[in-house]
Every structure is written in structure tokens, then in C-alpha cells.
Amino acid sequence: MSQARTAALAGALYVALDIVVGVTAGAPPPPAAPEGEIVTYLADHRAGLAAGLWLFGLATLPLLWWFGSLWDLMIRAEEGAPRLAVVSLAGLLLGGTMSLGSAAAMATLALLPPNTGGALALYAFAAMSLSAAGFGLAAHLIATNVLAARSRMLPRWLVATGLVSAAAFLISAVLGALTADAISNTVSLVGFVLWLAWILDVSYRMYNPAQHAQQISESPAASGTLSSERRR
């Protein structure tokens, strides 16, 4: 099996693991929720929060493997001068680090006895870290999709999906810093679902590179480019 196809399967595995993490952890209440609601959530999801940390950590391995092939595609699109590719990688690492830190804080809360002093502050920190991860993921998505739009590496509708996801992550990060209610979580969930869908479609195109290349070459934009090059 080729490296591109292996990376495509790694992308699908990452999405699957992230879905498992979300299901086991449930829907966390916002930091502004009553103390009793937060304590009840932590008590009811101890096993899920503890498992979420090592599942999320495990998921970083296929994600980085997947990004290795995406990096290769971006380097080719930038003709060996990585600019947006570096921004994309830095954003992904920043977002992943903040998300992993949030998962670690939540797993710590799951190990502590109920009503432990400082638990609410640690819970708020975990929520804030997860919101802040949106800045990094937005940078990753914007850089990748801007390059994809310039080089026709991805179709326009998929570029639009990635940019909408980036916008949702940015809005969620800003709202997370300004308010502690549930709207930030909702917007972040929208961005996250769109990002996972984007990863799945990019992975599909990695798995079928010949078909994707044919679609690009047959697109009206590509035909116009070829015609102009022939006139030159």
C-alpha cells in the first residue's frame, strides 16, 4: 500500500477516535453552569474523561501521519518553498497541544474526589484551553485552504467547508474568552464537525489521487489555464 493511502486511512482513524472521545465524554456544561451541574457531570463521566485522555493522545499519532502526506501535497503546490505549509503545521501543533492540555485537565478532574477545592477553576481552565485551541486550528485550516484555492489542490466546495470550519473555531475562541455560557461550545462543535468532515474528504482524495488529478485536469479552471499556456 502506498504512503498516501496509508495516510488516508490514518486520517479516517483519527476521525473515528475523536468521535469515540466525544461520545464517551458526553456534552460538558459551560463554565458558567451551576456548580452542582458541573460536579454531577464530572461524577457521571469519570471513566469517559479518563479514557478520553489516552484515546485523544493515541489519536495524535494517525493525525500526524495524515498530515505528513498533506504536507507533501502543500510543498508541491508551493513549489518547494513552504510558507503556508509551515503556518498550517504550526497551527495544527498549537491547536493539538491546547486540546491535549484540556483533555489532561479533564482527566485530572475525573481522578479527584467530588467537590475538591479548586475543581471549578481547573474545569474553567480546561474549557478555556479547548476554546484557545481554535486559534491554532483556524490557522491550520486557513493556510491549507488558501493554498488549496490558489493551486486547485482541492475543489472549491471543500475549500469553503474548511474556511467555514476555521471561522467557527475563531468565533468560538473569541466567545470563550468573553463569555462562559454554552454558545462558545456550540459554535466550537460546529467547527469541529466540519473539520472532521473536511479531513475525511481530504483523506478520500489521498486514497484516490489519480481520480482526483483527473477531476482537476477536467475542471473549467484548469482547462482555461491550459489554453492560456498554449497561447503563450
Sequence-ordered list of residues with C-beta below 8 angstroms from that of 112, at least 6 positions apart, any chain: 119
From the list 178, 54, 42, the residue with the least C-alpha distance to 120 is 42
For the CA atoms of the chain, what is the radius of gyration?
20
| Full-model pTM | 0.85
Q: What is the pLDDT of residues 170-206, one digit of tens each?
A: 999 898 877 766 788 888 889 999 999 999 999 999 8
Q: What is the pLDDT of residues 108-120, one digit of tens each?
A: 988 887 666 778 8
From the list 8, 2, 139, the residue with the least C-alpha distance to 70 is 8
| pLDDT of 1 | 58
Is the pLDDT assigned to residue 41 strictly greater than 90? no
